[in-house]
Amino acid sequence: MIDILQLAPLRPEIQQQLEARYRVHPASALDSVADKVRGVVTITGTGPSAALIDRLPKLEIIAVASVGYDAIDLEHARTKGIPVTNTPGVLDDDVADLAIALMINAARHLVASDRHVRDGKWLTDKYPLARTASNKRVGILGMGRIGRAIAKRAKAMGNSIAYHTRTQVADLTYRHYPSLVELARDSDFLIAIIPATPQTNKMVNHAVLEALGPDGIFINVARGSVADEDALVAALKSGALGGAGLDVFADEPNVPETLFGMNNVVLAPHVGSATVETRRAMSQLVLDNLDAHFAGRPLLTPVG
């Protein structure tokens, strides 16, 4: 059987199929199986690093159970001729749904109002007014599959849509902004859905947040690194930014505690794709890519 090093689990029903078809080893067994491993199953945030790739002389494929692959040394894998696959497409709807949910929650303060009721405060205090999430201006940072799915949902709520990417997307009628600061200035909501790369690191910086302004709301369903987290916390604390809905953070699972007491901030533990249906589809795509590679067929979703 073919030896696989597994750095992250798959859904149980797909895990069973993986173990039936391959000899699967946990990361703890690395020392004893490094010279046998031909495939790695992983997820964003768990590698493999260049050093780990170099420890696996027979490695042929890295299958990532996520869209993001920023923790993998992709260039190093390429220099060694090792293909990397990810799981695009199957999680678009769930991540887009969460982006809209965070947008509505941050605008309407639903988490804080839930707490208001549970704490018995409704008996004595009226809950303050929030803001509407429809018929507003939504700016989207990134316009790939998920960005398009977010735009579709936001537009259905009566919102106008604009976006920022390095180059204008030819088949879209939404307004394209070459400047992210200008997009933020003309938006009520700014939603980030771009990959984590050196070029996007801290792209949502002080200037962008200042342009979004005291009535603006920032939503991040991309990666924590695309926002300057210190600048974000400072803007929320000072009132320079109106609110935020955050599913990702710079140093997960460590979240700035300053955010915990803010009623205008909604926090989620990186759960954009965390539904049974989507995680099953992601796991299946990992297994399908492994099967295709070792059968000599074209990969279903190779990276780049």
Question: Which residues are known to be catalytic?
Answer: 223, 252, 270
45 pLDDT more than 80: no
pLDDT band, residue 77 (cuts 50/70/90): very high
Predicted pLDDT of residue 253 = 94
Residue 140 sits at the vertex; the CA angle it makes with 302 and 304, to the nearest 5 degrees, is 15
Please check the confidence at residue 25 and state whether its pLDDT lies above 80. yes
Q: State the pLDDT at residue 69.
A: 83
* CA distances from residue 137 to 103, 133, 248 in whole angstroms, order as listed: 12, 9, 23
Angle at 282 between CA 280 and CA 285, to 5 degrees: 110
Note the pLDDT tens digit of each residue in 255-266. 999 999 999 999
Domains along the chain with CATH numbers: 3-88+275-294 (3.40.50.720), 92-267 (3.40.50.720)
pLDDT at 43: 87
Round to whole Å and give the CA distance between 292 and 302. Answer: 11
For the chain, how far is it from start to end, CA to CA, in angstroms?
Answer: 29
- AA letter at 67: V
H or E element at residue 183: helix 180-185
Averaged pLDDT for residues 6-33: 96
Percent with pLDDT over 90 in the chain: 93
**Average pLDDT rounded to a whole number, residues 223-233:** 97
Compute the mean pLDDT over every residue in the chain, rounded to the nearest whole number: 96
Is the pLDDT score of 44 beyond 80?
Answer: no
Average pLDDT of the residues in 133-160: 98
How does strand 23-26 pair with strand 3-6? parallel
Could you report the per-residue pLDDT of 160-207, keeping only the tens digit for each? 999 999 999 999 999 999 999 999 999 999 999 999 989 999 999 999
Closest among 239, 172, 173, 176 to 212, alpha carbons compared: 239
Report CA torsion sign: 224, 231, 147, 145.
negative
